[in-house]
Amino acid sequence: MSDAVVEISGLRKVYPGKHPVTAVDGIDLRVNAGAIYGLLGPNGAGKTTTISIATTRAVPTSGSVRIDGIDVVAHPALARRSIGVVPQYNTLDRSCTVAENIQFHCLYFGMSRAEARERTNTLLEQFRLSDRAASYPQTLSGGLAQRLQIARAIAHRPKVLFLDEPSAGLDPQSRIAMWEAVQQLRAEGITIVLTTHYMEEADELCDRLAIIDHGKILIEGSPAELRAGIGGDKIYELRMSDAANTAQLESRLRETNGVTSVEPISGGLRVLAKAQDGLLAHVVTIANEFGLRDITTTEPNLETVFIRLTGRDLRE
């Protein structure tokens, strides 16, 4: 018996039609209780579909998802008691006030009226929405609406909170406030699964990550493990004046002590290297002979991990 609270195995989702689209193509995933787990990938990678299936809003073609031990496909209504969802779009009930949005949510999940009122007041306080309790959702700013959506989603004390692109459309300040709220929820013992295509968000928030592309998990691990897996402490990107003639430079660099790998990129080469005194100067000296135009140095981050895995930029 493990303490995995989300267990996804062999998950596939094919949207039928003239040109069938495989949105999720064999995903296996385990999220341990109390973790913040991130699904990182570009738009259209299958993150939202995976979350939709896990939260009973889409039916998988094959495979299974268990949330807190309950099969979401076989028992969707019961599984929803363990699930909190904040979708990408604002789904607040516009016919009800801010307080009623939370209060009715509590009633849907079986609380008595008194309990629901108490829980609503606590959450309004916790999410600093008390002064807007009687307002209607249409009048809230994006950041406030997001906070209300999170407050409502956890009102029934779910085991897992799913956040789909939680920072989409938020200003930087609201985004940081949202990160704090998420960390506080984890401290309260709620497991969090979120999707994002912002690597800083994944890096900052998540204990573990799965990088997803074309419906498949490319790599899985903690942000530090993923960065370490890239095989270098420094990345040098060399832009050459004559990009066509880099083969010789490539082999020269490969032989250089401290360089772990060299790969061609458009307009030049990418060099992964160990952190070593004098190595940068040495690389520049060699590259100069071949017409070095520009050099940039970075440290590996999740973005470079993604680029290394897919050859594409995350935002493409």
Residues that bind another protein (CB under 8 A): 15, 52, 55-59, 68-70, 74-78, 80-83, 85, 87, 89-96, 100-101, 104-105, 107-110, 152
Nearer to another protein, 83 or 205 (CB): 83
As measured in angstroms, the least distance from the Cβ of 298 to another protein is 39
As measured in angstroms, the least distance from the Cβ of 57 to another protein is 7
Nearer to another protein, 16 or 172 (CB): 16
As measured in angstroms, the least distance from the Cβ of 76 to another protein is 7
As measured in angstroms, the least distance from the Cβ of 165 to another protein is 14
Nearer to another protein, 55 or 304 (CB): 55
As measured in angstroms, the least distance from the Cβ of 102 to another protein is 10
Letter for the amino acid at 86?
V
As measured in angstroms, the least distance from the Cβ of 118 to another protein is 16
**3-state SS track over the chain:** CCCEEEEEEEEEEEECCCCCEEEEEEEEEEEECCCEEEEECCCCCCHHHHHHHHCCCCCCCEEEEEECCEECCCCHHHHHHHEEEECCCCCCCCCCCHHHHHHHHHHHCCCCHHHHHHHHHHHHHHCCCHHHCCCCHHHCCHHHHHHHHHHHHCCCCCCEEEEECCCCCCCHHHHHHHHHHHHHHHHCCCEEEEEECCHHHHHHHCCEEEEEECCEEEEEECHHHHHHCCCCCEEEEEEECCCCCCHHHHHHHHCCCCEEEEEEECCEEEEEECCCCCHHHHHHHHHHCCCEEEEEEECCCHHHHHHHHHCCCCCC
Q: Quick one: 239 exposed, middle or buried, by C-beta within 10 A (0-12, 13-18, 19+)?
A: middle
Nearer to another protein, 149 or 196 (CB): 149
Nearer to another protein, 107 or 228 (CB): 107
As measured in angstroms, the least distance from the Cβ of 126 to another protein is 19
Nearer to another protein, 49 or 174 (CB): 49
Nearer to another protein, 80 or 197 (CB): 80
CB atoms within 10 A of CB 260: 14
As measured in angstroms, the least distance from the Cβ of 145 to another protein is 12
Structure tokens at 155: 């009102």
Structure tokens at 156: 């029934």
Residue 120: phi and psi, rounded to 5, are -60, -45
Nearer to another protein, 66 or 197 (CB): 66
